Amino acid sequence: MMRYKRYFLLFLISLAFACQPKEGGERIIPLDDFFKSQDRMTYRVSPDGQNLSYLKLEGQSLNLYIEDIASGKAKKITHLEDKNIVFYFWLSNHELIYYKEVDVAKRRSDIFIINKEGANERQLSSNEKSRMRVIEDQLIDDKYLLISSNKRDSTVFDVYRLNVRNGSMQMVAKNPGNITDWRTDSEGKLRLAVSTDGANTTMLYRAQEGQPFKPIMTNNFTTTFRPIAFKHDRPNIIYAISSVGRDKSALVEVDCNSGKELKVLFGNDSLNITDAQYSRKKQQMSFVIYETWKKEKHYMDTSIKALYKDLDALLPKTETRILDRDQAENVFVLRTFTDRNPGSYYLYFADKRKLKKLSDFNPAIKQEEMSEMKPVSFQSRDSLTINGYLTLPLHLKPEQLPVVVLPHDGPVDRNLWGYNAEVQFLVNRGYAVFQINYRGSSGYGKAFMTAGFKQWGGKIQDDINDGVRWLIEKKIADPKRIGIYGAGFGGNIALNSAYQNPGMYACAASNSGVINLFAYLKSIPPFLSNSLQMYYEIVGDPLTDVDQMRKASPLFQTDKINIPVFISQNVKDPNANAAETLQFVKNLKKRNVNVTYLENEGIGFPTKNLESRHQFYTALEQFLESNLKNR
């Protein structure tokens, strides 16, 4: 009971400040408004386009609802009270499969099938300390699904044919021990596999099921080769996103008989292709997605280009993503957003060119109170172009502002343009927020990504500091009021900044940050053991890179930290060593370092742990206020 009283008191404190204007004139928005859970999410449309499904938040549980699109009448078909549905999809026009959460810490779930009326529910698999995922969501012969599972051996995934009528499983491809991925053709037949020796990946192909897989190409893991679809009229040809022989990825055609690239469909030396869309109905590529400072499309189908042009007219000045569609590609589920608006969900009827709004992602957010996320770039000390984003408070001059540097998680990740609740929360509190895509970030080509390998605490740290110096030179940042905050590897960067750069940062904050690179590598689960060499290349080899890894592990550097630090730890995170974090905090306190320590049960979206989320951001806000504002 005392815990809930404490939570209510924190709520009243935040509410008391909610309507107080800041120096610049805009109001301080209650922090809970930024981090609200969605009431409805994961919209999908049935293959025949007649029904809409979605997950609805009820207390602490997510349940599945089915809505008749024509009448608008909805029906609840699952009745979970203590668990969530973590994933689901339409199996046919009348049936759905869903994964029910069993063990959050170990990310396990059981699989059920249910009809759209909520009847004839049955369990297809039970948790046997193994994982299972659907490879191909097409139903074969009205009863089979192709799935992968590590039930035979926890370290590898074999392929099974799952009978959804009786739950029986028959192995169709045994993993020899090095296969990390399986791919099917448009008919749901297993045709491709990917193997690895830890550092190199090999693509294997077979013309027909029943034949042995044969290797067609081998690449270093730094090279992208991702099959998108088989060409309909020539089943030995695949469309793939490839950086083989080039720095930036392109969309190409490859002959699987020879492994040779036949032609480039779209790509050049300056654009990096990150995704592509194939239409099963039209049996052709629809568009590719490339990333500059935001995601953009290059259309390969004039009808799809016309569709998006129509959406741009109906939803002006907003980004639109298609989340799902019916088999006829007439009814679409859309998600919209901007950098200042978390967006909404819509149904779009292509034949009528009409929209039906389904829900808002977060109706508490008002676009006019949010700030623009502006792309910036600067030169590193070794003349590398580093890109990022700068978000400035409304109604304040961009001069001598307190700054929160926000390095992204990793390894091999990046910041992207779009609505970010954390960024807008911090900006509303009067901070300029600086997000840097340091070397090692994805989306800028192989050379830029590999430049960050084994550079934790090294050149990655230099990129962050060079960006801060650039911000100071532009007179945007007050050099005495700069803090740094991150999660995961972003937390590692933040805590490294606390001792590697004396005088640059006034404080550092970490949310479940990686404080020990050796422990991080040990936490890699058994089914990823084949990729361990890849992690050694990116993070460091615990046998040959000991000194560098210790230098970049804050756990071993407590004697050098002299600025206030904020450390939050998810005590239920299976990949974290809570005992090490506690020892880290104790060692800092022994030296009288100003430490704010907070334990939580996870603050992630979209549903649970509202109390943890509130406590975390309240504590973070107070920490930044005392160390960046009150100086």
CB 514 within 8 Å of CB 181: no
Cα(421)–Cα(31) distance, rounded to whole angstroms? 10
Cα(453)–Cα(439) distance, rounded to whole angstroms? 8
Each residue's pLDDT tens digit, 282-321: 999 999 999 889 999 999 999 999 999 999 999 999 999 9
Q: Lowest-pLDDT range, 36-40, 305-309, 421-425, 486-490?
A: 36-40
pLDDT tier for residue 10 given thresholds of 50, 70 and 90: very low
Residues 7-24, mean pLDDT to the nearest whole number:
43
Cα(67)–Cα(55) distance, rounded to whole angstroms? 11
Does 104 have pLDDT greater than 80? no
Name the residue with tokens 């997605």: 289
CB 41 within 8 Å of CB 52: no
pLDDT tier for residue 604 given thresholds of 50, 70 and 90: low
Residues 179-198, mean pLDDT to the nearest whole number:
90
Amino acid at site 24: G
Does 209 have pLDDT greater than 90? no
Cα(417)–Cα(340) distance, rounded to whole angstroms? 10
Name the residue with tokens 């970010």: 420
pLDDT of 123 reads 87
Q: Is residue 249 helix, strand or coil?
A: coil
pLDDT of 572 reads 74
Residues 27-42, mean pLDDT to the nearest whole number:
92
CB 418 within 8 Å of CB 337: yes
CB 463 within 8 Å of CB 389: no
| Residue 152, φ and ψ in degrees, nearest 5 | -75, -40
Residue 480 is encoded by which pair of tokens? 């005495």
Q: Lowest-pLDDT range, 2-6, 341-345, 462-466?
A: 2-6
- Percent residues over pLDDT 70 in the chain: 92
Residues 540-562, mean pLDDT to the nearest whole number:
96
pLDDT of 1 reads 39
For residue 557, what are the contacts with CB-CB under 8 A and spacing of at least 6? 496, 499, 551
Does 575 have pLDDT greater than 80? no
Please tell me which residue, 51 or 527, carries the higher pLDDT value: 51
pLDDT tier for residue 16 given thresholds of 50, 70 and 90: very low
Q: Specify burial of residue 368 (Cβ count, 10 A radius: 0-12, 13-18, 19+).
A: exposed
Q: Lowest-pLDDT range, 1-15, 133-147, 556-570, 571-585?
A: 1-15
β strands within 141-212, DSSP E: 144-149, 158-163, 169-173, 179-184, 190-196, 200-205
pLDDT of 333 reads 98
Residues 604-609, mean pLDDT to the nearest whole number:
57
Element (H, E) at 454: none
Does 19 have pLDDT greater than 60? no
Does 7 have pLDDT greater than 70? no
β strands within 350-474, DSSP E: 354-360, 373-379, 385-391, 401-405, 432-437
What are the residues facing 374 on neighbouring strands?
Answer: 390
Residues 229-237, mean pLDDT to the nearest whole number:
92
pLDDT of 489 reads 96
Amino acid at site 323: L
pLDDT of 81 reads 84
CB 583 within 8 Å of CB 597: no
Q: Is residue 410 helix, strand or coil?
A: coil
If you count them, how many residues does the chain have? 631
Cα(399)–Cα(493) distance, rounded to whole angstroms? 26
pLDDT, mean over the chain:
90
pLDDT of 11 reads 38
Residues 143-171, mean pLDDT to the nearest whole number:
89
Among the listed residues 247, 213, 210, 207, the one whose alpha carbon sits nearest the alpha carbon of residue 230: 207
Q: Is residue 238 helix, strand or coil?
A: strand
Does 58 have pLDDT greater than 80? yes
Cα(192)–Cα(197) distance, rounded to whole angstroms? 17
pLDDT of 22 reads 52
Each residue's pLDDT tens digit, 348-378: 999 999 999 999 999 999 999 999 999 999 9
Does 13 have pLDDT greater than 80? no
Q: Is residue 470 helix, strand or coil?
A: helix
pLDDT of 565 reads 98
Q: How far is CA 566 from the centre of its chain?
A: 24
pLDDT of 12 reads 39
∠ CA 409-485-606, nearest 5°, is: 60
Residues 419-446, mean pLDDT to the nearest whole number:
97
pLDDT tier for residue 601 given thresholds of 50, 70 and 90: confident
